[in-house]
Structure 1
Amino acid sequence: MDRDLTAVPAVCHCLLIETDSGGLVLVDTGLGTADLQHPDRSLGADWVAWAQPVRDPEESALRQVVRLGYAPQDVRHIVLTHLHRDHTGGLPDFPHARVHVHPDEYRAVTDPTAAHHRHSLDRFMPAHRAHNPLLVPAPVEEHTEWFGFSGVARPQGPACELLLVPLPGHSAGHAGVAVRDGDGRWLLHAGDAYMYHGELEHTPPLPHPVFEPVQQGAQTDAAARVTTRDRLRALRRDHRDEVTVFSAHDPWEFARLAAPADSDCRWSSSEP
């Protein structure tokens, strides 16, 4: 039974997309090198004591990009599912990159009148934005749907078929990142819309006893999160030949997908 997290630790599943003409696109950043060198200062002592992150700089997105033979400057775009600390820690490692988020998440952080502004800003760690990253709200395409999901935004710049798909509930503007390869198949990084594959693969949904309290503690809208999870269950059921769905922290999904694939728009998974 794979529900025992004492054997397999949780991951921060990032996606590196290699394009033919536009450099690299990084989806989420996991924990950065500064987080691992000075975790209490960068991530917050309470969070570090609770999460107990592995302090290995070689697992950072930066070091993994370099091991693949690229320079950090080759990462021209970063696309984030949301702005929580375990997804934004690597931003200072790529200070030149344009950082794309769904406009609902952008608004929650930048607009003091937004309903979730304070909550969202508290989760977007000061150390991760001290370099003043170029945070860009992706334009919403009003008449575009993705497998029935509306409110889809398209980041401007990445030389790849890539979309931000609203998956509300976990954060104010939480979104999945959908990327299509040269064969027309989609990969959906669902962020924290769910945290354990049993939530999608089992009927009824099977939450993980460790992940579920974490999800409940972080969510901004419980009803919206459950609705999002159920929509992802239907997507996986009805379109599994067209879309592969994975989440940010499930180590078993990461193990399935860690091998790189060859296509016009190539991707590989990493675990900062």
Structure 2
Amino acid sequence: MKIVFANSAWVSAAERLILHGGSWQSVRLRVRYGLIIHPRAGPVLIDTGYTPQATRGTDRGTALRLYGAILKPQLNAAEQPLPVLARFGLTPQDVRTVIVTHFHADHISGLSQFANARFIASDAAWSRLKARTAWQNLRHGVFAELFPTDFETRLDGLSSKARIAPRGAIPGGADLFGDGSVVAVDLPGHADGQFGLLFAGMERPLLYAVDVQWLLAALVQRRTPGFPASLLAEDFTAIEPTSEVLRRFLADGGEVMFCHDPEPKSYDLDGESV
């Protein structure tokens, strides 16, 4: 099984907004998404990153346009999903599964590009999303226009997956493909229904922890940012317990990756030969 992560865009933020006690100096953050070449499931995407649908799409509502104007994501054309798939000899039609770790714009904006794909996501979080008003969903950072109109009919909910029990510092979760190769690990705090992905079969077990923190330094140095970053969290009180799970995993020899950490990792496409 091959795993690579691409950088869909760059977003800049003051360091102190993403690292407690940091400076006002701007930090250029990645917006990762992943590609798994799975022996049985074939090419599988992990989210989609930022795509033009979020930054220039004609169907964007006022709130999404304002969101883009504030964050100003700079799309990385070479590592958008379609050119990255082409590097591996793949097309969007070849992708039959997209894992959606949570429903924020920088993770779902390209879902409409994959008409043949099923979506693995938290069906519990999807039910809560449907029960909210449009304004409540905006408060949770969810922009309805980014979902394909048939999202629900193509949803494979986590609740339908068999569970794998934790083993010491190795967390348990939902077995996405029935072979233990990719396990969805609940990571509450940042977003409703957020889960990470555990690849326990790698030479060094890998946990892609998505947006639990923005920087690895914030995790290992216990420097979770407070106000005003706390306003962006679904449940700020859950971030520290979730972070402690990641620290135990690191201490046991595992590797943790985040979506936005700017430091290059061995799985990043810009350091990878195809």
TM-score by length of 2: 0.76
**Counterpart for residue 221 of structure 1:** 235
2:248 paired with 1:246: no
**168 and 6 in structure 1: CA distance in 2 versus 1, 3 angstrom threshold:** same
The SS at the match of 1:13 is: strand
**Counterpart for residue 197 of structure 2:** 177
1:14 alignment partner, one of 22, 30, 33: 33
2:144 alignment partner, one of 121, 126, 137: 126
2:115 paired with 1:95: yes
**259 and 41 in structure 1: CA distance in 2 versus 1, 3 angstrom threshold:** closer
Q: Which segments of 5 or more consecutive residues in structure 2 lack a partner in the other structure?
A: 1-14
Give the structure with the higher percent strand: 2
Alignment of 1:75-224 (within 5 A): 75-110=95-130, 112=131, 118-119=136-137, 123-133=141-151, 134-138=154-158, 139=160, 141=162, 144-145=165-166, 147=168, 152-156=173-177, 161-181=181-201, 183=202, 185-202=204-221, 205-207=222-224, 215-224=229-238
Specify the code of the residue in structure 1 equivalent to 2:89. Answer: G
Contact 2:41 2:177 in 1 (8 A): no
- Work out the number of aligned pairs and report it: 249
2:257 paired with 1:236: no
Deviations along 1:154-189, whole A, 9 cap, x unmatched? 2357x77111101111112111111244x5543211
Contact 2:174 2:183 in 1 (8 A): yes
Q: Which stretch of structure 1 is more off in the superposition, 162-171 or 2-11?
A: 2-11
Alignment of 1:48-63 (within 5 A): 48-63=68-83
Distance 2:25 2:79 in 1: 20
Contact 2:190 2:239 in 1 (8 A): yes
Contact 1:199 1:229 in 2 (8 A): no
The SS at the match of 1:153 is: strand
CA-based RMSD of the aligned residues comes to 3.5
The SS at the match of 1:16 is: strand
Distance 2:85 2:78 in 1: 10
Contact 1:83 1:120 in 2 (8 A): no
2:48 paired with 1:29: yes
Q: Which segments of 5 or more consecutive residues in structure 1 lack a partner in the other structure?
A: 262-267
The SS at the match of 2:60 is: helix
Contact 1:140 1:152 in 2 (8 A): no
**124 and 135 in structure 1: CA distance in 2 versus 1, 3 angstrom threshold:** farther
The SS at the match of 1:10 is: strand
Distance 2:88 2:26 in 1: 28
TM-score by length of 1: 0.76
Contact 1:102 1:164 in 2 (8 A): no
Higher relative contact order structure (alpha carbons within 8 Å, sequence separation ≥ 6): 1
Deviations along 1:193-246, whole A, 9 cap, x unmatched? 1111112222xx1346xxx65741221211111111122112211x22xx2111
Distance 1:16 1:156 in 2: 15
**98 and 5 in structure 1: CA distance in 2 versus 1, 3 angstrom threshold:** farther
Contact 2:218 2:224 in 1 (8 A): yes
The SS at the match of 1:164 is: strand
